[in-house]
Amino acid sequence: MKIFISADIEGISGVVHRDHTGPDSEGGRSDEYRRARLLMTRQVNAAVAGALEGGAETVVVSDAHGSMRNILIEELHPAARLVTGSPKPLSMMQGVEGSSGALFVGYHARAGVPGVLSHTYSGRTVQELRIGSRVAGETLMNAGIAGYYGVPVLMVAGDSAAAAEASQVLEGVRTVAVKEAVGRYAALCLPFEEANRLVREAAREAVASAREVKPFVVPPPVTFQIRFTNTAQAEAATLVPGTRLVDPVTVSFTHEDYIVAFKAARAMIGLAHIADA
């Protein structure tokens, strides 16, 4: 049995500020980022250990934050294989194909929701993302990628807002709140070892009962609609062939294939980011 883990950083226990999320954050402290990378790696290790205990024979971990070069491979569980670096064709979900289940670790709430460092894919450009008529964050978007390949999302671990969001949109998913969101840059965190114990237990139980959970499948045609921060970003996004300008800051793209629509949304966001650089 192959289990896939997508690992972000904002939802890791102890991570609460931009200083923790990368070395290039404004006024950022590189020592705080180094700490956060280690915390991320150790929380992922808890999920790997739980997956193995639940019956996984192969575990693939995809580093899913920012540059996607955060997890310390020398500290990673020896049974795990790491997908690192970017860009990757499936971005945060690279390596999910052929898995029996997916685990999301370190996830955060979508843009506009009170939660620790909440955003959707790009905090600088995306105000809101919809898949069809449903407002979506990275949890739902990535669950759709997993579902496209017939893979169910078994567990989501992150802050309390991320856990609540996952429970609302994914039937049968197990959630772990490793910290309670107090504000955008503040949280009441569980002791780190306790958080890791809960992640490990949930991963073990989720993998052991993987056959009971159905994949989240978005029926075609699939529409990604993005509301950007300003008109320059939206104008740049319309350079993607097949896009439609809904209003001065909102662009949509529709296709029969979920992955084609997802990649178009990524291209739209990338162009919007460049336009406002």
Per-residue pLDDT of the chain (277 residues; tens, 9 = 90+): 999 999 999 999 999 999 999 876 544 568 899 999 999 999 999 999 999 999 999 999 999 999 999 999 999 999 999 999 999 999 999 999 999 999 999 999 999 999 999 999 999 999 999 999 999 999 999 999 999 999 999 999 999 999 999 999 999 999 999 999 999 999 999 999 999 999 999 999 999 999 999 999 999 999 999 999 999 999 999 999 999 999 999 999 999 999 999 999 999 999 999 987 6
Catalogue the active-site residues: 119
CA-to-CA distance for 109 and 10, rounded, in angstroms?
A: 9
Give the Cα separation of 191 and 42 in Å (integer).
13
Distance between CA atoms of residues 141 and 118, nearest Å: 15
CA distance from start to end of the chain? 44
Nearest by Cα to 249 from 269, 265, 226, 268: 226
Q: Cα(157)–Cα(14) distance, rounded to whole angstroms?
A: 13
Per-residue HEC secondary structure of 226-266 comes to: EEECCHHHHHHHCCCCCCEEEECCEEEEEECCHHHHHHHHH
Count CB neighbours of 124 within 10 A: 13
Rounded distance between C-alpha atoms, residue 225 and residue 82, angstroms: 31
Report yes or no: 223 and 265 within 8 Å, Cβ to Cβ. no
Q: How far apart are CA 173 and CA 166, in angstroms?
A: 7
Count the Cβ atoms, other than its own, within 10 Å of residue 20: 24
Kindly state which CATH superfamily the domain 2-119+138-212 is placed in.
Dipeptide transport protein (3.40.50.10780)
The CATH 3.30.1360.130 portion of the chain extends over 222-275
**Could you tell me the pTM of the whole model?**
0.96
Tell me which of 3.30.1360.130, 3.20.20.70, 3.40.50.300, 3.50.50.60 is the CATH number of domain 222-275. 3.30.1360.130
Domain with CATH 3.40.50.10780 in the chain: 2-119+138-212
Could you give the 3-state DSSP secondary structure of residue 145? helix
Strand pairing class (153-159; 101-107): parallel
Closest CA to 52 of 83, 72, 77, 82: 77
d(CA 33, CA 106): 15
Q: For residue 47, give both structure tokens.
A: 């999920």
- Distance of alpha carbon 135 from alpha carbon 156, whole angstroms: 18
Q: Is 6 helix (H, G, I), strand (E, B) or coil?
A: strand
